Amino acid sequence: MPAPRTAEHFADLATQQRAARLGMWTFLASEVLLFAGLFALYGAYRVRYRDAFAEAVRHNTLWFGTTNTFVLLTSSLTVALAVRAIRADRCGSALVFVGLTIVLGLGFLGIKGFEYADHIEHGLLPARFFSSDVITGPGAIIFYTIYWIATGLHGVHVTAGLCVLGWLATRIAHDRVDATNPVALELGAMYWHLVDMIWLFLWPLLYLTR
Amino acid sequence: MIEVSPVPSFLAAKTGPRAWLLTRDHKRIGLMFLFATVAFLFLGGAFAMLLRTELVRPERDLFDATMYNRLFTMHGVVMVFLFMIPSIPAGFGNFVLPIMIGARDVAFPRLNLASFYIYLIGAFVTLGSLVGGGVDTGWTFYTPYSSTSPTAVAPTAIGIFIIGISSIITGINFITTVHTMRAKGMRWHDMPLFVWSIYATSIIQVLATPVLGLTLVLVGLDHVLGIGLFDPRVGGDPVLYQHLFWFYSHPAVYIMILPAMGVISEIVCTFAHRNPASYRAIAYSSLGIAFVGFLTWGHHLFVSGMSETDAAIFGVLSMFVAVFSAIKVFTWTGTLYRASIRLGTPLGYLFAFLFLFVFGGMTGVAVATQSLDVPWHDTYFVVAHFHFIMVGGTTTAFLAAWHYWFPKMFGRMYDERVGLLTAALVFGGFFMTFFPQFLLGNAGMPRRYYSYPDQYQALHVLSTGGSWALGLAMLLAFGQLVVAWRKGPRAPANPWHSRSFEWSTSSPPPEHNFVGPFVVRRGAYDYDLTQEEADARSTDR
């Protein structure tokens, strides 16, 4: 197993790892603010179109959203188990857990895809593409515009997270990430947890607050 | 003092285009940012000169309304996003911050290089949209006009989004660097004050920029697909756009001015050869501005539909910024008071900064009051206010920084007489350009018009004359630096006899900043110590 390498501008490996973790936390803070703008828009329009938003939320399929919440929460568990395994130097099981996380992440996107197909079929599309005759009015249209942008942006983040996890899997397979140098996997897991956490806010806003 | 270093300087260590374009050295990346931002300063300045030339006569001369609108939009976009925001943090911050804390580089050198190329790509996309029709919305992209404008709104928005990514990366890098890379023995309160101000700036860059990114994505989508989230015709609210836009763009003015304040803090202490009157007052007021700066955006919306209570709250919060700024100004002047001041070009720019900043700041308190802002809103008064404080502050500090750190970066000196004369000309040109605009605004001249009634002509001519003087002064300032770079006399390692740590190494510094590990046993401004003692307590060998 190759020994972890300290880049020449760091005093020691511990400092390098501390810097990597702090950099990731700072990046996650930035990501939270990216979604915060959307949450602010949602809040302002929810106040303005209270009944229309509640009706649109009732119109969303609760089961799609809730199933996806379970899928994503489970994937957060598996990625956490992967970190635990790598710290205990069980690289084989770490690889299995990362693989499970990827499968669950793909499952999330798959379920989301079915849900999108369902929305398209019923004309529940953003802005001027909206053509439902079951729910109408500006409030419903704005709800679905925000819905598509928020879930779309979240989907982009899930996809990015999956790419990172796939790359990490090859790193673990090639013994480049292990108990002495687990930081890369830790950072990937932190990012995955953020993706999960943002969904935990989207889920009530888009499915539960009927 | 280290006079001759046996180690080659970072400029001499490796040469050739590859050594620059693929470098991970924060000093080279800083210099590339500086060259790029100076180029954009001149481009944005050229747009401004065209605008001012059109305004010499009341009637239409050079451009029609649409062309005029495109020009002031590009002037704003280039100056804000391509010059002012990256200039001091990504340029001088990159060059001196790691040396100031005794580090060999920033925490993430590869990301640092990436941020430079992301910035260039963003600049390329933004300026490319010029060719594709330009933008006529103003740099603020206010809805609903930006949804329906026939010009290239979406590509410009994407370009600015990309530049924002670069800004966020720089912020993450500096925050992490300050936390983890300080030299052995350096506590937080030993750091030079410039580091505090860049740290505060980085927090804003990381937390505010993503909100602008999202908002611009929504504007771009609106322009291309008509999603209408801010379009009143389909139930959207254009004022919500203004809230989101200013949630970034007001803190963004502190991205521009906080680093400038950091530069000024360094120059004050060096040229007064004295400890700052209060280190903590300057350091903490930077954090104070960064914090309260997030809570003031509403003062841009006083005439957009806002309750009087909200306006009063936003007005009072905005005035807190003035309190923190005044703390700094009094601490700087307190440091200068009865000190044995050394005269030099950076000090000349420092005085220009102080005057423009205080003058602009006081008019800022005035426009933060709703009753006063209503008549002044969207007039030249506001234009003059933000040019004084933001542009005057940032540009004079940028020039001060160039002259202060020039010997550090290139190991050469420039002619002080030309430098001081240029500083006076920059100040004079600036004042003559923008002071008449206060009077114009107060007399009712609205901003963003290419023609005007005859009674405003005298002041417009004065302003245009000032802008030509300012343009000439800028050419002189950078022309003299180019000459000094090629032909200037060799500078000693520490020409200003400063105690700040970037002067503890040779000028220009070696590739890894220090010869051995840098160890510190004093604060950044221990002017009570003798030079020998100070050097002995901050050494790399």
DSSP A122-175: TT--SGGG---SSS-SHHHHHHHHHHHHHHHHHHHHHHHHHHHHHHHHHHHHTT
B381 pLDDT above the threshold of 50: yes
Cβ contacts from A onto B, under 8 A: 111
Residue A97 touches partner B, C-beta closer than 8 Å? no
How far apart are the CA of A81 and the nearest CA of chain B, in angstroms? Answer: 27
Residue B294 touches partner A, C-beta closer than 8 Å? no
- pLDDT on residue A4: 62
Residue A19 touches partner B, C-beta closer than 8 Å? yes
pLDDT band at B260 (very low <50, low <70, confident <90, very high): very high
B180 contacts on A by Cβ (under 8 Å): 15, 18-19, 22
Give per-residue pLDDT as tens, B467-493. Answer: 999 999 999 999 999 999 999 999 999
Whole-angstrom distance, CA of residue B113 vs CA of residue B521: 32
Residue B113 touches partner A, C-beta closer than 8 Å? no
Give per-residue pLDDT as tens, B155-164. Answer: 999 999 999 9
CB atoms within 10 A of CB A3: 8
- pLDDT on residue A129: 87
Lowest mean pLDDT, pick from B85-89, B206-210, B527-531:
B527-531
- pLDDT on residue B1: 44
Distances (CA, A) of B131 to A89, B54, B124, B319, B502: 57, 21, 11, 41, 43
A145 contacts on B by Cβ (under 8 Å): 227-229
Report whether B226 contacts B147 (CB < 8 A): yes
- Name the helix (H) or strand (E) containing B520: strand B519-520
pLDDT band at A1 (very low <50, low <70, confident <90, very high): very low
Q: In this complex, do A22 and B512 lie within 8 Å of one another by their Cβ atoms?
A: no
Q: Which of B206, B215, B517 sits opposite A26 (nearest CB)?
A: B206
- pLDDT on residue A174: 92
Q: Which of A30, A37, A138 sits opposite B234 (nearest CB)?
A: A138
- pLDDT on residue B219: 93
- Tell me the domain boundaries of chain B: 24-535
B235 contacts on A by Cβ (under 8 Å): 49, 137-139, 141-142
B116 pLDDT above the threshold of 60: yes
Give A 39-58 residues with CB within 8 A of chain B: 40-41, 44-45, 48-49
CATH class of domain segment(s) B24-535? mainly alpha
Give per-residue pLDDT as tens, B40-60. Answer: 999 999 999 999 999 999 999
- pLDDT on residue A180: 86
- pLDDT on residue B430: 97
The verdict on pTM exceeding 0.80 is: yes
Q: Which of B180, B235, B244 sits opposite A22 (nearest CB)?
A: B180
Give A 68-87 residues with CB within 8 A of chain B: none
B411 pLDDT above the threshold of 70: yes
Lowest mean pLDDT, pick from A132-136, B118-122, B414-418:
A132-136
- pLDDT on residue A105: 98
How far apart are the CA of A5 and the nearest CA of chain B, in angstroms? Answer: 15
Q: In this complex, do A30 and B172 lie within 8 Å of one another by their Cβ atoms?
A: yes
Residue with token string 């860059």 = B205
Q: Which domains does chain A have, with CATH numbers?
A: 51-208 (1.20.120.80)
Give per-residue pLDDT as tens, B511-520. Answer: 999 998 899 9
pLDDT band at A2 (very low <50, low <70, confident <90, very high): low
Residue A198 touches partner B, C-beta closer than 8 Å? no
- pLDDT on residue B358: 96
> What is the percent of chain B with per-residue pLDDT over 90, rounded to a whole number?
89
Report whether B68 contacts B51 (CB < 8 A): yes
Q: Tell me the average pLDDT across B322-329.
A: 96
Residues near B479 by beta carbon (within 8 Å), at least 6 away in sequence: none
DSSP assignment of A9-22: TSSSHHHHHHHHHH
Q: In this complex, do A40 and B208 lie within 8 Å of one another by their Cβ atoms?
A: no
For all residues of chain B together, what is the average pLDDT?
A: 94
B175 contacts on A by Cβ (under 8 Å): 22-23, 26
Q: Tell me the average pLDDT across B288-317.
A: 94
B107 pLDDT above the threshold of 80: yes
Q: In this complex, do B229 and A30 lie within 8 Å of one another by their Cβ atoms?
A: no
